[in-house]
Structure 1
Amino acid sequence: MTPTSFGKGCHLHLIDGSAFIFRAYHALPPLTRKSDGLPVGAVAGFCNMLWKYVTDEHGSDAPTHAAVIFDHSSKTFRNEIYPAYKANRPEPPEDLRPQFPLTRDATRAFNVSCIETEGYEADDIIAALACQARDAGGSVTIVSSDKDLMQLVGDGVRMLDPIKGKLIGPEEVAEKFGVGPDRVIDVQALAGDSVDNVPGAPGIGIKTAAQLINEYGDLETLLERASEIKQPKRRQTLIDHAEQIRISKRLVTLDCDTPLEGSLQDLEIRDPDPDALLGFLADMEFRTLTARVAERLGAEAPAVTSAPPSSAPAAPELPAIDHAGYQTVTEMAALGDWIAAITEAGQVAIDCETTSLDEMQAKLVGISLAVVPGRACYIPVGHVAGSDDLFGQAMLVEGQLPQDQVLAALKPVLEDPAILKIGQNLKYDWKIFARHGIRMASLADTMLMSYALNAGSHNHGMDELAERYLGHKCIPIKELIGSGKSQITFDRVAIDKAAPYAAEDAEITLRLYDHFTPMLSDQRVTTAYELLERPMIPVLADMELAGIKVDTDTLKRMSNAFAQKMAALEDEIHELAGEKFNVGSPKQLGEILFDKMSLAGGKQGKTGAYSTSADVLEDLAAEGHDLPARILDWRQISKLKSTYTDALQTHVDPDTGRVHTSYSITGAQTGRLASTDPNLQNIPVRTEEGRRIREAFLATPGHRLVSLDYSQIELRILAHVADIPALKQAFLDGIDIHAMTASQMFGVPVEGMDPMIRRRAKAINFGVIYGISGFGLSRNLRIPRAEAQAFIDTYFQRFPEIRAYMDKTVADAKQDGHVRTLFGRRINTPGINQSGPAAGGARRAAINAPIQGAAADIIRRAMIRMPDAIRDLPARMLLQVHDELVFEVEESAVDDLIAAARRIMEGAAEPAVKLNVPLVVDAGQGMNWAEAH
């Protein structure tokens, strides 16, 4: 159909695709494609919602034009304004990530326009299209219930909640925010948003914000007249945080000038092509929807064939979970009966209920136990009444056993190595008990069992595992503690409601253990679980409890210095620009660079806005332009300040004065550990300012920090697994591997080599492990793409063994649905057989996984052996940062610690694997982490 012009009488529907995806993911049970195990549950839900939308008659509101809008990535221009924006949002679930590109494919299969723009959120694209359509005389319906889009409601623009089927106009917006759509931004700027990490004004919520805006008219007037507010605390909050509130307004304001490709007339409604749509649905193996669509379109439904994977778990043959078998233990005699049953069985599933996810501050509220399916108990020890006493202290609910008596009775059982303790994320419970003087022995963790079996396939939280493998939906925690501002801590939950929830957790954990145990053997991952996963629990727990000393005064000085440097950079930037402007505004910066200064390379969209992403600025800086270089410096300092020197101060434990990060054993499918709250693995070390942050991490008096770091471990593993003679010999001879590679590739002698040639070889050496493309290498080296591709081609010609390894790894992954490391770790590759844009990413991940996974396995093996190796030394292991271990040791024992730790690390692969290249560990020590590294 030839597009017609867009104008009066046209009706544009803008569908919030990202919201559709997450709603489909969370609303439906997990679903995998039987032929290869690819997760497709969210895609199925998305397709059903889209089909419902496409086939809906819509009545008099039928659209003439439509588009589905997606978020391109997590980083947008707002992160340049405020680096901490959306920093608290968790990463998408592992099994959802491969489904994102499939939803785009689905949209195109339905013949609906699919739009996303790098550096901008879906909401910004919706705003830009809505404004264009309204200005052109048309009407707009935004198919979403997202409150952030309500600022767009007004003349010609409304919203439609797709779940409730409810239209949202100005009255509905006013009902939600207390103001009309034109003042929604002001209210959001004041109230902030904890989900998106928009700071707002501390202590001011939506209701108060609306009252203030209605009284003063608009945000700027309110801030200018803040001194007139009678309420002292509120007045001071607005005065002290005025700039923060203004930043918040910029964060919540949707950008109607978002650059867009194409025009509104390109979005005209088109009928789906039967072959394309049915082909996609059949490829996804959606039998029911394929048949339904075929009938509606009057086409023949294609055959949908599939074969279940050989490792598909059998359905459990146990009776349904029944809370009638649960007991609340309030007498020591009853607890004694449970301890006797545990001793007789030789195992127990255990779970702690506490007041916080922070193990260092959490208070123990209760303990649940399960010995056999169908029978579990809850021992409340810390539930408090709804109100406090006259001294502000919470009063314990009557009828509970004393906590110290319960722990004293359980201690022999928990520390008995002959009794197996089964848990879900048992590291948490281990730390809770350790803080009470109990060190659990003989551990089994169902989360780690699932990870050993299913890394790369799905998440490993208990609720998901219970639904997926036991067909049981757990009691939602929100039913007990609520959510948002009304959320309570678990100690304030009534015992009669807490007991079934907690006891259910213990029973489900026991059932999962029974379900997973035979699967470990069937899928040949028992060794990986027993040697690489389970032993990590006490090792990491001890490291996390130890923490590392941080000097907040140093961090404050750095924050002040960064603030001064940012101010100085702003002055320099303004001088280079020839005028003052908001350095954090991409729009203003784009106008300076490409309109006023007429620099080349400006990417201008239809609305006239320019991209000022890091890539654009780096290209301009490489051409010798000072202004973009200074902007990059300013952004870097701004991020260091907000993300590290400011934020780290809030993570110092008030009782220990140390920072206690938490390591996720299942954080990456390759076996790499992930550090969170705070993330100490991403502190930058490539810049002087970034390295200085490590100066704030200190040894205690009389001690030193010692860092031991594997040298080029992934390249060494590549040389071994791909059996590359030249690389192996270079490592055996201790030759500079990058200089050797350059010499082999470019035919130049190692002696007197041009550093630029060595740099190019280094970029390829490390890039090839991650499947780098000619485009990626050209950007890294700032050379033409053709030249970069020629380098890669030469590399593979010189080292054909690498290409052979890659091809074989991908072929095996396609056949088996997974790859394995040298140590038997299984990493599933669910997307390896799919087609389309995601295929390249799945292929690169499959190639890299055995290498990165083996490196992760080696450092895990070293960490597991380390406590015994340094037991007699006045030292303790504090941190793991990818290939680096950090220790704290008394000054007199530094050399002994380095010798012992290096011996363990360099021999960590043996005896399981005999590498034909040596592992080499570099060591350093100092009063702070920067000196040690």
Structure 2
Amino acid sequence: MNDEGFGKGSHLHLIDGSAFIFRAYHALPPLTRKSDGLPVGAVAGFCNMIWKYINDARGPDAPTHAAVIFDHSSKTFRNEIYDNYKANRPPPPEELKPQFPLTREATRAFNLACLEIRDYEADDIIATLACQARELGGTVTIISSDKDLMQLVGDGVDMLDPIKGKSITRDEVFEKFGVYPERVADVQALAGDAVDNVPGAPGIGIKTAAQLINEYGDLESLLDRAEEIKQPKRRQTLIDHAEQIRISKRLVQLDCQTPIDFAMATLEVKDPNPAVLMDFLNQMEFRTLTNRVAERFKAAPPEPVAPPPAETSAPAAPQFPPLNCENYVTIRDMDTLRQWLDAIAQKGMVAVDTETTSLDEMQAELVGVSLCPEVGMAAYIPLGHVEGTADLFGGGARSEGQIPMEEALAALKPVLEDPAILKILHNAKYDWKILARYGIRMSPVDDTMLLSYALNAALHNHGMDELAQTYIGHRCQPIKELIGSGKNQITFAQVPIDKATRYAAEDAEVTWRLWQHFKPQLPAAQVTTVYETLERPMIEVLAGMEMAGVRIDSDHLRAMSGAFAQKMAQLEDEAHTLAGTKFNLGSTKQLGDILFNQMGLAGTKAGKSGALSTSADVLEDFAAEGHELPARILDWRGISKLKSTYTDALPTSVNPETGRVHTSYSIAGAATGRLASTDPNLQNIPVRTEEGRRIREAFIAPEGRKLVSLDYSQIELRILAHMADIPALKQAFSEGIDIHAMTASQMFGVPVEGMDPMIRRRAKAINFGVIYGISSFGLSRNLRIPRAEAQEFIDTYFKRFPEIRAYMDRTTREAKTQGFVRTLFGRRIHTPGISSSGPAAGGARRAAINAPIQGTAADIIRRAMIRMPKAIEGLPAKMLLQVHDELVFEAEDSAVEPLIAIAREIMENAHIPAVHLSVPLVVDAGAGRSWAEAH
């Protein structure tokens, strides 16, 4: 470190920035920016604390140099010493995460040095600067109340508690620890720390530790002379846990040798630039503090940022020149690659895309990586291309002019993992998983697919080709032009490098342009918080779940397939007998001929073909009227679907390397935010049938582990009770009353005690049906009652709960007025067709009514999933599956109960503090060797 300009007479202030952030967050009520709903409460508190510090730091003791020090990330070199270091700490709240970078911006806006170093804690940086400043003859004031930093108090170094506004002296350190600062680490090593998960010596607290250190002088002397301790239990503890105690010392001891590569002169105190500071505060919409700064510096405050109108048209796409794919570069050597990576590091952002041999992220091989740091500048790094038709990974000859993959990835890794460089991708989860298998964990990441989804859910799909055509007027080269289709299809590894460069670099530049189009629109659409806290964090969470996979019992499924085949044959025979002739049950034409021509049933036309429909709805109606053949067809179709989708297909989906099934979740599929499971779909296994239960028996945990299921109880009904403000339902949920029995009692005037199960079933069908805008026709089918009776039930329901009708009417009006509805968390769900006429209008209206309810439920479980990995990090457990309102985990037997306790706490409080529901959320939990046992 260059010490020029710092020496005797210099006074360095070191501010514990991370402590300031958490203090601000917990001390102040939630605050969101009006323009876009972004949480900024912690930023506001942080700015006020820094402003107070600047105003207080005057006079003869004013600092000559100052810096605000932050923790870089949760993982540091101490995790290499002890895996479970800080494992018990809960993850930061989702509302706080987007505020971390803003506090760094705030620090720079105040013209203070902002320091953080990868793999080191803020305390280590503070310790190193304090020690070096003292060696140079300067004095140091550490502004923090962190007990760990008390190790530094002494000659030339003091501490100031910013909460109490008083100095922490050596005597006060002694009063707290029973030793002076130079022995604080010894005491901490013995006593351990439950908050940071420092193990220490079992049964020894601060007081006993201090007595021992004072008696023996220091920790090593104590451990060397442990045999001399008279008390047997204490003696044995120190002997048995000596190595653990030494590890604890390494964990608590501050590192005064943190690698620092900046000059002390850069920490020199300077007044804030009023224009820069006020611009930042104004963008944050901190009007009061903006005015204080203006008054202090006698400057005119900027005009307040105007909140966006309730609805604005999308900004026009940035005016870029057309893509010129002829200018793309092929990177074939390390010197060129380093030049590109240096340019990317200077830019601080880059669009990235990977090319692979397959769409299966768990088995695809990496073929190349494309990069785009700005418009008109894109390159492709070929890594796995082959000559001829043989695939490299099947023994083909490697094409010339490619950097060895290990060398290229080693160079890419620091850039792709650098938290200061933003990586922009489209469908980032795919590329994240591919690169994770090669040892690269990209962060931070922006995803143009999810940006589009946050802005335009339900308006269109979010594939790159469609977005490029729609928003930047560019037609992307179809992949089929390169690899063909059908039996002649090749892999991307076999595409000539020059053609691959054009295609891959084009994808990267299109991604860059889409990002520049979508990202600025978030504030105007008021979906910044949705994107930052509900979409973006899901990339890594889902990637981890998908890569973990779930184990299945293939033999069990094959046996079920045989049983299903026999059952289908039996149903086929029964159908033939009922029809009086043999026919193909899978042929809609033959079935239609029997139902409508031979049996004379009245049908309705389906689609443009004019053929009479044999859909499930039609068959259910016929079955409800007492016709046996349609009932057999429905049973046959149900068994056939389970056989083809699950018992036949799942064993073929087992990954040969992992021995597990790896589903893939679509984040941007359903408009409401619900996730969709594909390849294979594990979300549609029937819940309440015997067949569904038996299929779940095939999902198993390895020996010594269990599957654990946690499922929200009636979450959508609870959200409806809150959103529609229904006193009777809210009271029932708050008191834990059987909601369906209560509804039946309210509707039909029967007591809850001894209620006929059929009456409760009818109430349950209405309770759930009303969320989806069920009609009398639909309810009559579900309950197999006359339509008039079903309509009477619905009318009675709305009379008893008029708040639901009011909610439906209000939501429909909002959808028609603004073209979208919102969840409680601000997710925007567009409602195309809401103002149309004809049959489509009814479906659009029902979708609009349901969307805020289902979407809010989806948002809640997303928030729980995002918080979960950090919360269970210290347990031998992992999250495997999400099935609508249910999360499925795998855990060692000993971790089942702790996992349930932690996961239940997170799920039941996932909405807090962003939304406070007026009804409690309840989570049911179970565990077993199979999913069936756990569910």
TM-score range, shorter chain: 0.5 to 0.7
What is the alpha-carbon distance in structure 1 between the residues aligned to residue 849 and residue 419 of structure 2?
A: 40
Equivalent of 1:856, from 842, 858, 872?
858
Aligned match for 1:785, one of 787, 792, 801: 787
Aligned to 2:360, which of 340, 358, 361?
A: 358
The yes-or-no answer on 1:550 pairing with 2:552 is: yes
Counterpart Cα distance in 1 of 2:817 and 2:381: 49
**Correspondence list, 1:333-732, <5 A:** 333-388=335-390, 393-574=395-576, 582-584=584-586, 601=601, 603=603, 613-615=615-617, 617-619=619-621, 621-622=623-624, 627-732=629-734
3-state SS of paired residue (1:314): coil
Equivalent position SS for 2:706 = strand
State the one-letter code of the partner of 2:514.
L
Task: Give the unaligned 5+ runs of structure 1.
Answer: 1-307
> What is the distance in 2 between the residues matched to 1:389 and 1:922?
49
How far is 1:318 from its partner? 1.9
Contact preservation (8 Å) 2:568, 2:636: yes
TM-superposition CA deviations, 1:680-710 (whole Å, max 9, x none): 1111123211221111111111110011000
1:771 to 770, 773, 794: 773
Q: CA deviation at 1:387?
A: 4.2
Structure 1 pair 336/558, CA: closer, same or farther in 2 (3 Å)? Answer: same
Query: Cα offset for 1:529?
Result: 0.2
> Tell me, what secondary structure is at the counterpart of 1:894?
helix
Q: Quick one: distance in 1 between partners of 2:686 and 2:392?
A: 50
1:309: Cα distance to partner? 7.4
**Do the aligned partners of 1:380 and 1:400 also contact (CA within 8 Å) in 2?**
yes
1:765 maps to a residue whose letter is N
1:833 to 827, 832, 835: 835
Q: 1:394-424: per-residue Cα shift (whole Å, max 9, x none)? A: 1110110001111111111111212111100
Cα offset for 1:793?
Answer: 1.2
Paired position in structure 1 for 2:797: 795
Q: 1:330 corresponds to which letter in structure 2?
A: R
User: Could you say if the C-alpha distance between residues 325 and 878 of structure 1 is closer, same or farther in structure 2, counting changes exceeding 3 Å?
Assistant: same
- CA separation of 1:455 and 1:631: change in aligned 2, threshold 3 A: closer
Q: What's 1:743 paired with? A: 745
Q: Which whole-Å CA distance do the structure 1 matches of 2:327 and 2:673 have between them?
A: 38
* 8 A contact 1:387–1:395 mirrored in 2: no
CA distance in 2, matches of 1:424, 1:726: 46
Structure 1 SS opposite 2:364: coil
> Which residue pairs with 1:321 in the alignment?
323
Cα distance, 1:349–1:572 mapped onto 2, change above 3 Å: same
Q: Which amino acid aligns with 2:315?
A: P
Displacement, 1:815?
1.2
Classify 1:593/1:430 alpha carbon distance in 2 versus 1 (closer, same or farther; 3 Å).
closer
- Do 1:354 and 1:490's aligned partners in 2 also have CA atoms closer than 8 Å? yes
Matched-pair contact (CA < 8 Å) for 1:591–1:610: no
Q: Tell me which residue corresponds to 2:870.
A: 868
Report the secondary structure of 1:659's partner residue.
coil
2:724 and 2:807 in contact (8 A); partners too = yes
Distance 1:335 1:822, change over 3 A: same
2:894 maps to which of 882, 886, 892 = 892
Cα distance change of structure 1 residues 741 and 479 upon mapping to structure 2, 3 Å threshold: same
CA distance in 1, matches of 2:412, 2:802: 60
Post-superposition offset of 1:589: 5.7
TM superposition shift of 1:672: 0.4
Q: Secondary structure at the match of 1:796?
A: helix
What do residues 78-117 of structure 1 show as CA deviations (whole Å, max 9, x unaligned)? xxxxxxxxxxxxxxxxxxxxxxxxxxxxxxxxxxxxxxxx
Would the alpha carbon gap of residues 309 and 923 (structure 1) be closer, same or farther in structure 2, given more than 3 Å must change? closer
Deviation of residue 870 (structure 1)? 0.4
**Cα deviation, residue 832, structure 1:** 1.6
- Residues 312 and 524 of structure 2 are in contact (CA less than 8 Å); yes or no, is this contact kept in structure 1? no
Structure 1 partner of 2:811? 809
CA distance in 1 between counterparts of 2:836 and 2:612 reads 35
Q: Kindly tell me: are residues 634 and 463 of structure 1, through their superposed partners in 2, closer, same or farther at Cα, counting changes over 3 Å?
A: closer
TM-score (norm: length of structure 2): 0.64
Q: What are the superposed Cα offsets for residues 424-455 of structure 1, whole Å, 9 maximum, x if unpaired? A: 00100100011011111111111100100110
Could you tell me whether the CA contact under 8 Å between 1:375 and 1:507 is conserved in 2? yes
Kindly report the root-mean-square deviation, in angstroms, between the aligned alpha carbons of the 2 structures.
2.5
The structure-2 alpha-carbon separation of the partners of 1:437 and 1:390, relative to structure 1 and needing over 3 Å to count, comes to closer
Alpha-carbon distance change, 810 to 579 in structure 1, aligned in 2, over 3 angstroms: closer
Q: Who is 2:272 aligned against?
A: none
Shift of 1:829: 1.3
Tell me how far apart the structure 2 counterparts of residues 333 and 733 of structure 1 sit (CA, whole Å).
Answer: 69
**Partner in structure 2 of residue 759 of structure 1:** 761
Cα distance in 2, alignment partners of residues 632 and 835 from structure 1: 33
The CA distance in 2 between the partners of 1:617 and 1:817, in whole Å, is 36
Q: 1 CA distance for matches of 2:311 and 2:857? A: 29
User: CA offsets, 1:568-587, max 9 Å, x none?
Assistant: 33444455666655554566
- The aligned amino acid for 2:897 is D
CA contact (8 A) 1:316 1:469 kept: no
Q: Percent identity?
A: 74
Q: Quick check: 683-692 or 657-666, which moved more?
A: 683-692
* Residues 730, 918 of structure 2: 8 Å contact kept: yes
Distance 1:573 1:492, change over 3 A: same
Q: Structure 1 751/328 Cα, relative in aligned 2: closer, same or farther at 3 Å?
A: same
- Structure-2 change in CA distance of 1:416 and 1:798 (3 Å): same
Q: Note the alpha carbon deviations across 1:598-640, whole angstroms, 9 max, x for none.
A: 6x84549999998655445444544556554444333322222
Q: In structure 2, how many angstroms separate the alpha carbons of the residues matched to 1:834 and 1:377?
A: 47
Asked if the contact 1:602/1:610 (under 8 Å) is kept, the reply is no
Change in CA separation of 1:710 and 1:418 when aligned onto 2, cut-off 3 Å: same
Distance in 2 separating the partners of 1:857 and 1:391: 41
- The question of whether the paired residues in 2 share the 8 Å contact of 1:311 and 1:523 is answered with no
1:716/1:383 CA distance change after superposition, 3 Å: same
- CA distance in structure 1 between the partners assigned to 2:425 and 2:673 by the alignment: 20
C-alpha separation in 2, matches of 1:509 and 1:608: 44
Q: How does 1:246-285 map to 2 (within 5 A)?
A: none
- Report what 2:46 is aligned to: none
Partner SS state of residue 911, structure 1 = coil
Greater CA drift, 879-888 or 634-643? 634-643
* 3-state SS in 2 of match to 1:704: strand
Once residues 311 and 623 of structure 1 are traced to their aligned partners in structure 2, the CA distance between those partners, rounded to angstroms, is: 51
Rounded to whole Å, the distance in 1 between the matches of 2:501 and 2:934 is 49
Of structures 1 and 2, the larger Rg is shown by 2
Instruction: For residues 118-174 of structure 1, give each alpha carbon's deviation from its aligned partner in whole angstroms, at most 9, with x where no partner exists.
Output: xxxxxxxxxxxxxxxxxxxxxxxxxxxxxxxxxxxxxxxxxxxxxxxxxxxxxxxxx
Shift of 1:650: 2.0
From the superposition, tell whether residues 717 and 385 of structure 1 become closer, same or farther in structure 2 (CA, over 3 Å): same
How far, CA to CA, are the matches of 2:338 and 2:923 in structure 1?
51
